Amino acid sequence: MAGLSLFEKLWQQHLVADLGDGASLLHIDRIFLHERTGSVALQTLEADGRRVRHPELAFCTMDHIVDTLPGRGDDTRMPGGRAFIETTRATTRAAGIRLFDVTDPQQGIVHVISPEQGIVLPGLTVVCPDSHTCTQGALGALAWGIGSSEAEHALATQTLRLARPGSMRVVFNGRLREGVTAKDMMLWLIGRHSASGAAGHAVEFAGEAVRALPLEARLTLCNLAVEFSAFTGLIAPDETTFQYLQGRPYAPSGAMWERAVAAWRTLRSDDDAVFDREIEVDAAAIPPMLTWGTSPQHAVAVDGRVPDPFHEPDPHTRQAMERALQYMDLQPGQPLAGMPVGAAFIGSCTNARISDLRAAAAVLRGRKVAPGVRAICVPGSMQVKRQAEAEGLHRVFLEAGFEWRESGCSMCFFAGGESFGHRQRVVSTTNRNFEGRQGPETRTHLASPATVAASAIAGCLADARALQPQELAHG
């Protein structure tokens, strides 16, 4: 018999029962909530007369709708946001769930603080009512996003019913070129194989280029798996993983740490494992990327041109491209480099960790944001913010002309609160460039932190390698 993939091993280890007709009941190790959806699940649970089965295995943070301006409190720019925050505080307290509250020194975006606190560990199943939960697969966990009703079921039973997806492996062979990041790897992959390229599959990322990535860059890689339509993304744990986790607040310690690492070393795909699908990528062929349209698959090299829908044989794809061009106010064949931007945003669960801020600061140091460009940096957690300030990075951002904020999701998405403005063109480190994602008719170009920083300086979409190539780092 063929060996097992990492995904298959994790599935088997958590299988409670085969329910027939392709459905399985899995044990859930960790449940994470946030104030925008978690309060709904907890309120419904309470109304149904049920309790949280294992409150010590559930966590919640205030991240999606909190204000990120200095001196913030419970008031938000999102209509009704204060009620969400107050309800979440009351329901988590009643349930005995650890809450990373608005003023908690460990508060931050759920997919940032879960790894940095050591809440997610190799081999665990992790769920959260948020589509980018797949981020946490970077540590060798089986992590995926769920809905509020599923969160309620997981809280009450510590299990979930779901159909097993297929298995897929994406192998990045070779080494990345200087200035190419994990963000570029995924935008290239999605641009080449489409935003539905991994539909129905759990994707394992492997290969020399993946093993060479630091842990935070791996988080970026897995974060974007959902934009590839994957059930989840995951990476086999290795020494990089163990070094990252050691000493984290919720990670094992002492003799338990040694036992845990010994078990984690077995979490890898067998050499003879068979995947339902495989893709191989030459990592050296990947350039820094930018999106031009309204899907992460609308991605080209930073020095590339807007594609022509006329050459697209599929009528549905062609129609989507034409709509995207209209929304983004672009023309086929138009170069992206040099396109004026009105705003630059560094933040989100994709690219707001300390390594991301260091990469952006390396480009910004000694330079100024172009006149007329509004630039904002929102650290992914308060811990990231403190570390950045200890390293003096905040001064680099402030002196360059960026706003320096408190942590939160901020303008990664628009929910009736703060936005960059009607039809504003924004270059952003976020994960989605859908219509209206960052505000009514806001036009978003996705890119790496270095590319966003370079574009803010130039006042137009720009290649960071032309500014400061010697200081760019993979991330």
Q: What is the pLDDT of residue 39?
A: 83
Say if residue 422 is in the same domain as residue 371.
Answer: yes
Q: What is the pLDDT of residue 416?
A: 74
Q: Is 291 part of a structural domain of the chain?
A: no
Q: Is 246 part of a structural domain of the chain?
A: no
Maximal C-alpha separation, the chain: 64
- Which range is least confidently modeled, 379-383, 458-462, 466-470? 466-470
Say if residue 106 is in the same domain as residue 171.
Answer: no
Average pLDDT for 271-295 = 98
Q: Is 224 part of a structural domain of the chain?
A: yes
Residue 277: closest CA among 164, 165, 168: 168
Q: What are phi and psi of 403, to 5 degrees?
A: -75, 140
Q: What is the pLDDT of residue 189?
A: 98
Q: What is the pLDDT of residue 176?
A: 98
Asked if the model's pLDDT at residue 230 lies above 90, the reply is: yes
| Count of structural domains within the chain | 3
The span from the CA of 336 to the CA of 410, in Å, is: 26
Q: Is 196 part of a structural domain of the chain?
A: yes
* CATH number of residue 180's parent domain: 3.40.1060.10
pLDDT in tens, 324-374: 999 999 999 999 999 999 999 999 999 999 999 999 999 999 999 999 999
Quote the DSSP letter at residue 194.
-
The span from the CA of 15 to the CA of 10, in Å, is: 9
Q: What is the pLDDT of residue 220?
A: 98
Confidence of residue 469 (pLDDT cuts 50, 70, 90): very low
Say if residue 63 is in the same domain as residue 104.
Answer: yes
Say if residue 209 is in the same domain as residue 275.
Answer: yes
Say if residue 416 is in the same domain as residue 449.
Answer: yes
Domain enclosing residue 209, as ranges = 167-238+268-285
Q: What are phi and psi of 192, to 5 degrees?
A: -80, -40
Asked if the model's pLDDT at residue 20 lies above 50, the reply is: yes
**Locate tokens 């999606």: which residue?**
64
- Which range is least confidently modeled, 71-85, 110-124, 171-185? 71-85
Say if residue 330 is in the same domain as residue 461.
Answer: yes
Say if residue 208 is in the same domain as residue 316.
Answer: no
Asked if the model's pLDDT at residue 468 lies above 90, the reply is: no
Q: Is 336 part of a structural domain of the chain?
A: yes
- Which range is least confidently modeled, 34-38, 68-72, 207-211, 304-308? 34-38
* CATH number of residue 144's parent domain: 3.30.499.10
Q: What is the pLDDT of residue 29?
A: 98
Q: Is 213 part of a structural domain of the chain?
A: yes
Q: What is the pLDDT of residue 36?
A: 87
pLDDT in tens, 388-403: 999 999 999 999 999 9
Q: What is the pLDDT of residue 466?
A: 87
Confidence of residue 248 (pLDDT cuts 50, 70, 90): very high
Helix (H, G, I), strand (E, B) or coil at 83: helix
Asked if the model's pLDDT at residue 273 lies above 50, the reply is: yes
Q: Is 145 part of a structural domain of the chain?
A: yes
Say if residue 135 is in the same domain as residue 193.
Answer: no
Say if residue 217 is in the same domain as residue 229.
Answer: yes
pLDDT in tens, 413-433: 997 788 998 999 999 999 999
Say if residue 152 is in the same domain as residue 209.
Answer: no
Residue 176: closest CA among 288, 297, 279, 280: 288
Number of residues that this document lists for the chain: 475
Quote the DSSP letter at residue 273.
B
Say if residue 214 is in the same domain as residue 187.
Answer: yes
Q: Which residues contact 75 (CB under 8 A, 6 or more apart)?
A: 67, 81, 82
Per DSSP, what are the bridge partners of residue 126? Answer: 30, 143
432: tokens are 């989605």
Confidence of residue 471 (pLDDT cuts 50, 70, 90): very low
Q: Is 33 part of a structural domain of the chain?
A: yes
Say if residue 275 is in the same domain as residue 327.
Answer: no
Average pLDDT for 277-296 = 98
- Which range is least confidently modeled, 39-43, 298-302, 396-400? 39-43
Q: What is the pLDDT of residue 475?
A: 39
Q: What percent of the chain has pLDDT over 90?
A: 94
Q: What is the pLDDT of residue 104?
A: 98
